[in-house]
A and B are shown apart, each in its own frame.
Chain A
Amino acid sequence: MFTAVNSKVVSVNLAQSGPIVARRGAMLFYTGQVYFEPHQVPGGGGGMGGGMMGGMAGRMLSGEHEATMLAQGNGVVHYGFRGIEATVVNLGSVGGQMRVEASRLLARTADIQASIVSVASSGGQGGGGGGGLFGSLRNAAAGAMTGQGMFTTQLMGAGSVVVLGHGGIFELPVNPGGAVLVDPQAFVASAGQVNSTLKSAMSWRNVGRGGGESMQLECTGQGVVYVQASEQKM
């Protein structure tokens, strides 16, 4: 549905794709009759958690919300953002499920369901902390250290997604037999049944002798991990 114009710009024909949800301000130009209106991720932004999570969690949640706009009508829209490489992912071909940070999401077809989930729940049993309150606190601390938020956006459906990755994105398959470990700053998204847990390679023995790679996201399960060629967060 999305067509890559070059490595950094995608175009989409609304007549074929249906409405498109895109990061606000990412539209470059369009032809035809296209209407833009603000769009809210259900559970995020305005409604702020809908009672399930209030107060602090709600505010943290808002960090995982990027203002988006809905484009509909009849025409071709071009999207691009800050000259960052954009990659089109067909959700249907990667198991219909993807986890990506909202700031990395350039555009998606509106038929994809987006929800904001806790990173802890993606790891099954928290960051090795055994879940529960302690586990989630541990996750929050680790998240604060690496800039990996506590929450992430989960996309479900069969549509297409455009993901941003500084320096381009490459895919790494994750199989039950072999885990893939990713620098948290270079991690972009994961698709399929992939659990990611933050792992520390640091111990009291190698204080000051570490290789500068003390934190890694360990991705296990079955699916694909998307990694960018840079350590720059968005």
Chain B
Amino acid sequence: MEPLLSVRDLTVTFGSFTAVEGVSFDLHPGSMLAVVGESGSGKSVTALSIMRLVDLGTRGRIESGEILFRTPDGVVDLVAEPEERMRAIRGNQISMIFQEPLTSLNPVYPVGDQVAEAVILHQGLSRREAAARVLEMFRLVRIPEPDKRMSQYPHEMSGGMRQRVMIAMALSCDPKVLIADEPTTALDVTIQAQILGLMRELREETGAAVLIITHDMGVVAEVADEVVVMNRAKVVEQGSVFELFDAPREDYTRALLASVPRLGSMAGKAKPAPFDLVEYNR
């Protein structure tokens, strides 16, 4: 099957520091790919590169590589697209959910208006049509009493509700690719499960391919079809989720899997035992 999005040999630098080095992976239509790794491994920068937002307020630069994206008018390289074309793609064909639902919404506007913004911008809907679309999206992401919620401000909503609003915003233009940068990290565990379940259902309903970034192996096992493991700016291992969990080839992957605590693993111990620093060298 032809990949929808194909990252080829991507290298991103911040000044003299290389945040992403020679990363390649494919995202297939309708599948869910997880990029896992510890903090600073370059997974978020990879995601931002696909949106071409790495230069945001920093000195980030895509040094080399290509990001091939299949559109109805043929394959385009997102690294080389002019900024204006990128703006038409962002939020429309590729959209993104961020880590912090508490700060990802603008505090001075009602949430409904913020979701409407995206469809007005990309699909040229009128205010009224946009409001109808927002209502539809709020129903899709299972926000209770959607008509009431639309006129609320972000501070009147809980974290889980705000993340649903963010997902509604991201999906409002029927994107082909949804990038979720640690969508559940800031939420508590029961809400995490709800949001992950929602994302899985939505992928089936909308057919969007999902790129999910996480450091949580539990999340990976829960939702992903394919996994890319990153460490220190490089891809360590990639494969299907079953291959990876059943027979990890690399030490680092094994260490990452072993780092998830199991229920009862602390039984009989007085306090958490310090464990050895995992150093991974290829």
Q: Do A and B bind each other?
A: no
